[in-house]
Amino acid sequence: MNKSTISLFAAFVCLLTLNACAKKPVAPVAEIAPAAPVVLTQATDSGEAPAPAGLSTEPVSEAAAPTVSLLKLEKVFFEFDAYTLTPQAREILARNAEWLRKDPAARLTIEGHCDERGADEYNLALGQRRADAAKNYLVSLGIAAERLTGISYGEERPAAAGSNENAWSQNRRAELR
Protein backbone atom coordinates (compact mmCIF):
# COMPACT_ATOMS: atom_id res chain seq x y z
CA MET A 1 0.00 0.00 0.00
CA ASN A 2 1.16 3.48 -0.74
CA LYS A 3 0.93 6.52 1.51
CA SER A 4 -2.16 7.99 -0.12
CA THR A 5 -4.11 4.74 0.27
CA ILE A 6 -3.13 4.51 3.94
CA SER A 7 -4.14 8.15 4.49
CA LEU A 8 -7.44 7.59 2.70
CA PHE A 9 -8.08 4.45 4.77
CA ALA A 10 -7.24 6.28 8.04
CA ALA A 11 -9.59 9.15 7.13
CA PHE A 12 -12.35 6.64 6.38
CA VAL A 13 -11.86 4.91 9.75
CA CYS A 14 -11.94 8.31 11.53
CA LEU A 15 -15.21 9.24 9.82
CA LEU A 16 -16.77 5.90 10.79
CA THR A 17 -15.64 6.35 14.37
CA LEU A 18 -17.01 9.91 14.60
CA ASN A 19 -20.32 8.83 13.11
CA ALA A 20 -20.62 5.94 15.56
CA CYS A 21 -19.96 8.29 18.50
CA ALA A 22 -22.58 10.84 17.48
CA LYS A 23 -24.84 11.91 20.31
CA LYS A 24 -28.24 10.33 20.49
CA PRO A 25 -31.16 12.77 20.43
CA VAL A 26 -32.31 13.89 23.86
CA ALA A 27 -35.98 13.44 24.72
CA PRO A 28 -37.84 16.74 25.09
CA VAL A 29 -38.30 17.89 28.69
CA ALA A 30 -42.07 17.41 28.45
CA GLU A 31 -41.54 13.68 27.91
CA ILE A 32 -39.27 13.15 30.91
CA ALA A 33 -40.64 15.72 33.39
CA PRO A 34 -42.21 14.24 36.53
CA ALA A 35 -45.93 14.41 37.07
CA ALA A 36 -47.43 17.40 38.84
CA PRO A 37 -46.83 17.38 42.61
CA VAL A 38 -49.35 15.73 44.88
CA VAL A 39 -51.11 18.35 46.96
CA LEU A 40 -53.14 17.81 50.12
CA THR A 41 -56.28 19.94 50.20
CA GLN A 42 -59.71 19.93 51.81
CA ALA A 43 -62.80 21.01 49.91
CA THR A 44 -65.23 23.50 51.48
CA ASP A 45 -68.80 24.48 50.69
CA SER A 46 -67.52 27.41 48.66
CA GLY A 47 -65.46 25.08 46.45
CA GLU A 48 -62.16 26.53 47.65
CA ALA A 49 -59.39 24.34 49.07
CA PRO A 50 -57.85 26.10 52.08
CA ALA A 51 -54.78 24.83 53.91
CA PRO A 52 -55.45 23.21 57.30
CA ALA A 53 -55.38 25.65 60.23
CA GLY A 54 -51.93 26.94 61.12
CA LEU A 55 -50.16 25.76 57.99
CA SER A 56 -48.89 28.28 55.49
CA THR A 57 -49.01 27.82 51.73
CA GLU A 58 -46.68 28.52 48.85
CA PRO A 59 -47.98 28.79 45.29
CA VAL A 60 -46.89 26.21 42.75
CA SER A 61 -45.73 27.39 39.33
CA GLU A 62 -48.59 27.90 36.91
CA ALA A 63 -47.09 25.37 34.50
CA ALA A 64 -47.39 22.62 37.12
CA ALA A 65 -50.80 23.41 38.64
CA PRO A 66 -52.37 26.84 38.16
CA THR A 67 -54.66 27.01 41.22
CA VAL A 68 -53.05 24.63 43.74
CA SER A 69 -50.90 25.31 46.84
CA LEU A 70 -48.33 23.14 48.62
CA LEU A 71 -48.34 22.82 52.40
CA LYS A 72 -45.38 23.99 54.42
CA LEU A 73 -44.79 23.04 58.04
CA GLU A 74 -44.27 25.83 60.54
CA LYS A 75 -41.00 26.71 62.29
CA VAL A 76 -40.61 26.60 66.06
CA PHE A 77 -38.72 29.40 67.82
CA PHE A 78 -36.72 29.32 71.05
CA GLU A 79 -35.62 31.76 73.73
CA PHE A 80 -31.96 32.81 74.02
CA ASP A 81 -29.65 29.98 75.15
CA ALA A 82 -32.61 27.61 75.63
CA TYR A 83 -34.05 24.48 74.10
CA THR A 84 -37.23 24.30 76.18
CA LEU A 85 -40.40 24.45 74.10
CA THR A 86 -42.58 27.49 74.77
CA PRO A 87 -46.39 27.09 74.86
CA GLN A 88 -46.54 28.70 71.41
CA ALA A 89 -43.95 26.19 70.10
CA ARG A 90 -46.03 23.31 71.49
CA GLU A 91 -49.12 24.63 69.68
CA ILE A 92 -47.19 24.86 66.42
CA LEU A 93 -45.81 21.35 66.81
CA ALA A 94 -49.31 20.04 67.59
CA ARG A 95 -50.55 21.50 64.28
CA ASN A 96 -47.57 20.00 62.47
CA ALA A 97 -48.29 16.63 64.14
CA GLU A 98 -51.87 16.78 62.85
CA TRP A 99 -50.54 17.19 59.32
CA LEU A 100 -48.14 14.27 59.89
CA ARG A 101 -51.02 12.05 61.04
CA LYS A 102 -52.80 12.73 57.75
CA ASP A 103 -49.74 11.58 55.79
CA PRO A 104 -48.37 8.49 57.56
CA ALA A 105 -45.70 7.96 54.90
CA ALA A 106 -44.14 11.40 55.42
CA ARG A 107 -40.67 11.49 56.96
CA LEU A 108 -39.18 14.69 58.33
CA THR A 109 -35.81 16.13 59.18
CA ILE A 110 -35.91 18.54 62.10
CA GLU A 111 -33.12 21.11 61.79
CA GLY A 112 -31.91 22.86 64.94
CA HIS A 113 -30.50 26.38 64.47
CA CYS A 114 -28.91 29.04 66.70
CA ASP A 115 -28.05 32.71 66.50
CA GLU A 116 -24.46 33.84 65.99
CA ARG A 117 -23.67 34.30 69.67
CA GLY A 118 -21.69 31.54 71.35
CA ALA A 119 -18.88 29.24 70.24
CA ASP A 120 -19.39 27.04 67.18
CA GLU A 121 -19.27 23.79 69.18
CA TYR A 122 -21.69 25.13 71.79
CA ASN A 123 -24.15 26.26 69.11
CA LEU A 124 -23.97 22.89 67.34
CA ALA A 125 -24.83 21.15 70.62
CA LEU A 126 -27.61 23.64 71.39
CA GLY A 127 -29.04 23.25 67.88
CA GLN A 128 -29.11 19.47 68.36
CA ARG A 129 -30.92 19.84 71.71
CA ARG A 130 -33.48 22.08 69.98
CA ALA A 131 -34.04 19.55 67.19
CA ASP A 132 -34.32 16.75 69.77
CA ALA A 133 -36.80 18.75 71.88
CA ALA A 134 -39.07 19.23 68.84
CA LYS A 135 -38.69 15.59 67.84
CA ASN A 136 -39.44 14.30 71.34
CA TYR A 137 -42.56 16.44 71.56
CA LEU A 138 -43.82 15.14 68.20
CA VAL A 139 -43.17 11.58 69.42
CA SER A 140 -45.15 12.35 72.61
CA LEU A 141 -48.03 13.37 70.32
CA GLY A 142 -48.01 9.95 68.65
CA ILE A 143 -45.69 10.46 65.67
CA ALA A 144 -43.35 7.47 65.18
CA ALA A 145 -39.74 8.33 66.04
CA GLU A 146 -38.56 6.43 62.93
CA ARG A 147 -40.23 9.09 60.78
CA LEU A 148 -38.21 11.91 62.36
CA THR A 149 -34.52 12.75 62.12
CA GLY A 150 -32.86 15.56 64.05
CA ILE A 151 -29.81 17.49 62.85
CA SER A 152 -28.04 20.62 64.05
CA TYR A 153 -26.70 23.40 61.88
CA GLY A 154 -25.73 25.59 64.81
CA GLU A 155 -25.25 29.14 63.53
CA GLU A 156 -24.25 28.06 59.99
CA ARG A 157 -27.61 28.68 58.26
CA PRO A 158 -29.13 31.90 59.58
CA ALA A 159 -32.66 32.79 58.54
CA ALA A 160 -32.01 36.50 59.05
CA ALA A 161 -28.84 38.55 58.65
CA GLY A 162 -27.83 41.01 61.32
CA SER A 163 -26.43 41.29 64.80
CA ASN A 164 -29.49 42.46 66.68
CA GLU A 165 -32.33 40.89 68.67
CA ASN A 166 -34.69 40.88 65.70
CA ALA A 167 -32.29 38.78 63.60
CA TRP A 168 -31.22 36.60 66.52
CA SER A 169 -34.82 35.74 67.44
CA GLN A 170 -35.47 34.53 63.88
CA ASN A 171 -32.32 32.38 63.91
CA ARG A 172 -33.11 30.54 67.19
CA ARG A 173 -35.38 27.96 65.60
CA ALA A 174 -36.17 24.40 64.61
CA GLU A 175 -37.35 23.82 61.04
CA LEU A 176 -39.27 20.76 59.87
CA ARG A 177 -38.49 19.67 56.33
Domain with residue 170: its CATH number is 3.30.1330.60
pTM of the predicted model as reported, rounded to 2 decimal places: 0.61
Phi first, then psi: give them for residue 47, nearest 5 degrees.
Answer: 90, -5
Domain that holds residue 85: 74-176
Whether the per-residue pLDDT at 62 is higher than 70: the answer is no
Residue 144 counted as domain residue: yes
| pLDDT greater than 70 at residue 86 | yes
In a domain, 68, yes or no: no
Residue 168: the pLDDT is 97
Per-residue pLDDT at 120:
97
Does residue 117 fall inside a structural domain?
yes
13 within domain boundaries: no
Spatial CA neighbour of 151 closest among 92, 110, 93: 110
Whether 113 is covered by a domain: the verdict is yes
DSSP code at position 81: T
pLDDT number for residue 72: 77
What is the rounded CA–CA span in Å between residue 121 and residue 67?
45
Count the domains in the chain: 1
Note whether residue 24 is domain-resident. no
The whole-number pLDDT of residue 10 equals 65
* Percent share of the chain, pLDDT over 90: 59
Residue 9 counted as domain residue: no
